[in-house]
Chain A
Amino acid sequence: MTNPATHSLSEFQIAMRTFRKNRLAMLCVMILGALYFSAIFAGFLSPYSFKSERREHSYAPPTRIHFVDESGEFGWPFVYGIKLSFDEYYKRIYQEDRSVKYPVQLFNHGDEYKFLGLVPMNIHLWGVEEGGAVYLLGADNRGRDLLSRILWGGRVSLSIGLIGVAISFSIGLIFGGISGYYGGWIDNVLMRVAEMVMMVPGFYLLLALRAAVPPEFSSVQVYIAIVVILSFIGWAGLARIIRGMCLSLREREFVLAAKSIGLSDFSIIIRHILPHTLSYSIFAVMLSIPGYILGESALSLLGLGIEDPYSSWGLLLADAMSIVKIRFYPWILIPAFFIFLTIISFNVIGDALRDALDPMMKAEGQRS
């Protein structure tokens, strides 16, 4: 098919073409791509592990990377040592120790981690040699590198959205599909259940469910518990909308035709009805991922989510809850910027997808 005008594009491909023309959305796709990439390769990209701490560097400010040495010569980047002193109020003051120089090393050997969670490795993309310390975004109260912790924390914060959405949308689609296709008392029962979930204010339900999780859970179990809790809250709204769409879709003749070729009710729902809700589902997914990320952040912020020494963006922000700390160590607010960036990106992409996938809205936009 050399001629691009040949009728071989599906509706979805046409929508994707429109989507690609949206520059802002494409920028957000790239931002998210970079964030997910850095989360996946967090171990390799970060100079330290999320739990390697140096108490003597508590709240060390961001380290400057120098390109020009004392003699004024431009060369390979390096950092100076860190010198700790106290002022008359015993406040920690960090200064550069100009007597020692640590060049930045590429592919240096540092903390052990598991590459992609499988292969044990200790090679990091960059870092400085033993003895020196580099905190590009500063350090936290236990002297852990904030950049490393943000990258590691991204694994939790970013994956929770995707996994949570996958679970709650599967439930929502099946619930809504069955409810709308059968109607009658099945519809009544399923929708009343959905309404019961929707009735309770989300955040309090979240707290209540979290309280039901045993405190002795390991961090992995807590992570799974949070995902399940968030999905449990999220499916109901979608189920209602899908149900409404299915109610009208089941009257279409192709459903009867599908029945006439011998498909079972379940196959009809999965193969013939739900695909029609796909365009709605895709942007609904995008627009609901931020909710999961914020939910996890809120839980971790309140100390109910991921626990130290593990890292998540919400947990990192918990440290920034005191105004005094923000006043003296402003860099601990940086994780908020990552949350902000992620959520804005998902919202912009979701909006752009809605515009691209919904031809009716597009037509309206052209008319106005």
Chain B
Amino acid sequence: MSLLTIKDLTVVIDNQAQTPIVKNVSLRVEAGEIVGLVGASGSGKTTTGYSVLGLLDPALAVRAGEIIFKGKNLLRCQEDYLRKVRGGQISMIFQEPLNAFNPVFSIGYQIDEMLQFHSDMNSEQRHKRTLELLDLVGLPEPQRVVKNYPHQLSGGMRQRAMIAQAIAANPALIIADEPTSSLDVTLQARIIELFQKIRKELGLSFLLITHDLGMVGHLCDRTAVMCQGEIVETGETTKIIDEPQHEYTKRLLGALKV
């Protein structure tokens, strides 16, 4: 059984009959696997990611489909259970960590918060664990970073801190929404290395939402290509990059090679 299975997911705006934002999307993530979800802006890939955690904007609604995580359909679960899943089982990495961290609290406080909700460690243990996490994601001087505020870190450090927060409660799956789009190319490579390291050491699965086919090629085992709310092609990453079947995938790859 897969870790996460999305079956025929359809998301619409305000329950109106217009063209759905996400149309009959099916996707599966196995334990320990990195799956890429590629597409242009507005193709519905982020919406798909958000619907897994029930974080959709109130104006959007899931019309049909199932999201099965560890044998439970998340769309039918109570809010209480979903809260345990969020962060505890599935955590999220956002595109711009500067916005995703609360600017008025220190990095340490915000990682600590994750542990507060998803573990029963006391404050001393949580502090120790926070330092370990910051060290694990390769931040120099964790003692100092713990006390820093988000705006005091550089973009790359912030994204590492965000990853530290995401893995804090030992989740089974991380949904990364364009995790490197706001970083420059060298930093992107470092973050990709970090993802590989985390996968190897912690055995996590990733659902990587991106428009960067280069990153997908480096990282993902399987890839799904989304276009206008639909998955147009899915399969092994190498296969998709070497022998794209769909017209849209070819255009995407063509754009990369220019």
- Residue ranges of A at the interface with B (Cβ–Cβ < 8 Å): 7-8, 10-11, 252-254, 256-264, 271-272, 275-276, 278
Contact = CB atoms under 8 A, between A and B. Distances in A.
B171 to A, nearest CB: 10
Nearest to B53: A260
A275 B110 CA distance: 14
Contact of A7 (B92, B102, B104, B148): B148
Given A253-B100, A254-B99, A261-B86, 6 more contacts: A253-B99, A254-B101, A257-B94, A262-B84, A263-B117, A275-B104
A256 B55 contact: yes
Contacts of A263: 83, 113, 117
A252 B114 CA distance: 19
A309 to B, nearest CB: 49
Nearest to A264: B83
B100 A254 contact: yes
Contacts of A259: 55, 86
Contacts of B87: 260-262
Contact of A276 (B84, B85, B104): B104
Nearest to B89: A262
B102 A258 contact: yes
Given A7-B152, A10-B149, A253-B96, A260 B91 contact: yes
Nearest to A272: B102
B91 A261 contact: yes
A170 to B, nearest CB: 20
A257 B101 contact: yes
A262 B104 contact: no
A7 B147 CA distance: 10
A252 B88 contact: no
Given A10-B149, A253-B99, A261 B104 contact: no
Nearest to A271: B113
B211 interface: no
Interface in B104-118: 104-105, 113-114, 117-118
B127 to A, nearest CB: 17
A261 B102 contact: no
B245 to A, nearest CB: 34
A262 B94 contact: no
B214 interface: no
B165 interface: yes
B102 A254 contact: yes
